[in-house]
């Protein structure tokens, strides 16, 4: 768990995200950063995690060493209206006017589950991640993409809705990277291997 909030001296636009998270249903790995040049990045829970109400007991899980750009949003299940109903109107939410059972409020929307982001994921400017989506390790989410489906590891996606653009590496390298899990290494080992990581020299890891 990071205690240091700002990775760089004099830069108040970028934070280590798990140092500013208070909600126990949001889990963020070490060294994951969030940058915001519009709002205070310390307000990530309020400004970027939307429709995330306790009634659903849903979680946002983000791995280590992720980079999240300004304005990225995570939209949870309460943003969904129930599609099986003959009306999209959320009658159960307004149970008082319609004399419905308060305990059935959650039936107003479809529940698609948690949002899970892997390690070393880059989420671009103003991208939107929808409820229930799982994003694999090493994936890249393009600027203003709307991600409605799972993204495999080391895959670049973009567009509305987001579609695969290409794989970052060959299947052989992807398999090797998933086995290495460098983000779980001790800091000293990462430091020692950093030249190879930064230069893309995977066969030296």
pLDDT for 146 equals: 98
pLDDT for 16 equals: 98
Same domain flag for 151 and 176: no
Total number of domains constituting the chain: 2
pLDDT for 78 equals: 81
pLDDT for 182 equals: 95
Same domain flag for 51 and 124: yes
Same domain flag for 150 and 199: no
Answer whether residue 96 is part of any domain. no
Residues annotated as part of the active site? 81
Same domain flag for 66 and 154: yes
**Could you say which residues of the chain have pLDDT below 70?**
none
Answer whether residue 95 is part of any domain. no
Tell me the residue range of the domain where 46 lies. 14-80+111-168
User: CB of 95 within 8 A of CB of 102?
Assistant: yes
Is pTM beyond 0.95 here? Answer: no
User: CB of 128 within 8 A of CB of 73?
Assistant: yes
Same domain flag for 176 and 198: yes
User: What tens digit of pLDDT does each residue of 106-118 get?
Assistant: 777 788 899 999 9
Answer whether residue 93 is part of any domain. no
Same domain flag for 135 and 69: yes
Same domain flag for 59 and 135: yes
Same domain flag for 115 and 199: no
pLDDT for 107 equals: 75
Answer whether residue 55 is part of any domain. yes
pLDDT for 75 equals: 96
Same domain flag for 75 and 153: yes
């Amino acid at each position: 768990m990071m205690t240091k909030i700002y990775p760089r001296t004099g830069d108040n636009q970028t934070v280590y995200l798990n140092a500013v998270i208070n909600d126990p249903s949001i889990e963020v790995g070490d060294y994951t950063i969030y940058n915001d040049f519009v709002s205070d990045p310390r307000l990530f829970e309020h400004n970027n995690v939307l429709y995330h109400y306790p009634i659903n007991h849903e979680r946002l899980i983000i791995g280590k060493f992720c980079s999240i750009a300004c304005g990225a949003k995570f939209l949870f299940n309460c943003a969904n209206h129930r599609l099986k109903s003959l009306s999209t109107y959320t009658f159960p939410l307004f149970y008082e006017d319609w004399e419905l059972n308060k305990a059935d409020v959650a039936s107003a929307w479809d529940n698609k589950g948690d949002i899970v982001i892997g390690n070393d994921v880059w989420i671009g400017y103003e991208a939107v991640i929808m409820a229930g989506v799982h994003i694999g390790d090493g994936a890249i989410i393009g600027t203003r993409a709307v991600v409605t489906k799972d993204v495999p590891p080391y895959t670049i996606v973009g567009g509305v809705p987001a579609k695969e653009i290409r794989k970052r590496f060959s299947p052989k390298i992807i398999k090797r990277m998933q086995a290495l899990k460098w983000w779980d290494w001790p800091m000293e080992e990462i430091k020692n291997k950093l030249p190879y990581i930064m230069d893309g020299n995977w066969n030296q890891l």
